[in-house]
Amino acid sequence: MGSYRIAVIGGDGTGPEVVRESLKVLRAAASVTGGPDLTFNEYDFSGARYRRTGEIISDAAIKELGEYDAILLGAVGDPQVPPGILEKGLLLRLRFELDQYINLRPVRLYEGVPCPLADKKPKDVDFVIVRENTGGIYTGHGGTTRKGTPEEIATQVMVYDRRTVDRCLEYAFDTTMGRRDRGKPGKLTLVHKTNVLTNCGDLWFRAFEEMGRRYPDVQRDYNHVDACCMWMVKNPEFYDVVVTENMFGDIITDLGAIIQGGMGIAAGGNINPQGTSMFEPIGGSAPKYTGRNVINPLAAIEAGSMMLSHLGEHQTARRIEASVSRFLASRRLKDLSAGAVEESGLGTTGIGDAIAQGV
């Protein structure tokens, strides 16, 4: 049993509501004999705070967050704050300054969850996307000249160095080996656009092939990103682990979310393997549902389970996963939408109660 300090950022909209249910489940799972000792400290970094104070997050606060064992985040996004301010000022800043260079996205279809793909079952949708999280086009290189004129020029530059690529690939190969040890096929697919992005794409492909020689038990594959989107819809069972750069990963992880049933179950981790990692439901803040007790908290609960697994508390994480699995298999929800949560009569808190009681 370990002892861990967790920073909690509820954030905006329905973020605090789903985080409360995740904490409820984490406390219930930790209370079981042999569970970890978890201490939660809550922080108010949100659009409301920004509107009130003009500050998103301070240097001192980021340093303080970096001293925790992990961070649990609800959601960021406030309709009263212009787009990009919170996303870049909080989410991207935390990822970059805490060097959370891996975005880890399990894509798993649970029994009892409707899949939008015809005839696909849980055995067909069970893969992991490893997205490089601190490089590429999101680093902010580029700019605008002649703004507002007919001759306006805007550039956004994809930037990668070998170190950034190698450490992401190493994490992906190790993840593939870990899944292989648990009976998965041991296949790693690099996704890029080497036929057009001939500089960055070539760097990624050469590094992939060179590192692959260190992992002879991992089967290597390559897809152009457009082909990957097609195959994820047509034959998701082809995939075991996918590794890709930042922007392509941002896109295909949302595609992964919908084929596993929607944002209501999709969780992700922003990982620094040697530092502080942050876990979150990947859906937005859903402000129109705030305070109505109808938003689905399962993605936030899954984020908590991912956090425990990352911390090495695998047995407790599996308790939560098993409880989620049993709940979904019971088909008490017809789907994962807010409407289905409302119709079920359970509400956000009722779903949290059900998962907590099942651990």
15 within 8 A of 76, measured Cβ to Cβ: yes
321 within 8 A of 286, measured Cβ to Cβ: no
* Domain range annotation of the chain: 1-104+267-359, 115-260
Residue 203 is inside which H or E element, if any?
Answer: helix 200-212
Q: Which residues of 245-257 are buried (b: 16+ CB within 10 A; e: fewer)?
A: bbbbbbebbebbb
User: How far apart (Å, rounded) are the C-alpha atoms in residues 75 and 103?
Assistant: 16
Residues 190-242 have pLDDT tens digits of 999 999 999 999 999 999 999 999 999 999 999 999 999 999 999 999 999 99
DSSP string, 327-348: HHHTT-SSSSSHHHHHHHT-HH
Report the CATH superfamily, name and number, of domain 115-260: Isopropylmalate Dehydrogenase (3.40.718.10)
Q: Which two tokens stand for residue 184?
A: 């998965």
pTM: 0.95
Nearest to 207 by CA among 159, 161, 162, 160: 162
Residues 130-189 have pLDDT tens digits of 999 999 999 989 999 999 999 999 999 999 999 999 999 999 999 999 999 888 999 999
Residue 21 burial (10 A CB sphere; 0-12, 13-18, 19+): buried
For the cut 90, the answer to whether the pLDDT of residue 109 exceeds it is yes
115-260: same fold as 1-104+267-359?
Answer: yes
Residues 115-145 have pLDDT tens digits of 999 999 999 999 999 999 999 999 989 999 9
277 within 8 A of 70, measured Cβ to Cβ: yes
User: How far apart (Å, rounded) are the C-alpha atoms in residues 278 and 307?
Assistant: 8
Q: Look up the CATH architecture of domain 1-104+267-359.
A: 3-Layer(aba) Sandwich (3.40)
Residue 97 burial (10 A CB sphere; 0-12, 13-18, 19+): middle
Q: Is 54 left (phi over 0), alpha (psi -120 to 50) or beta?
A: left
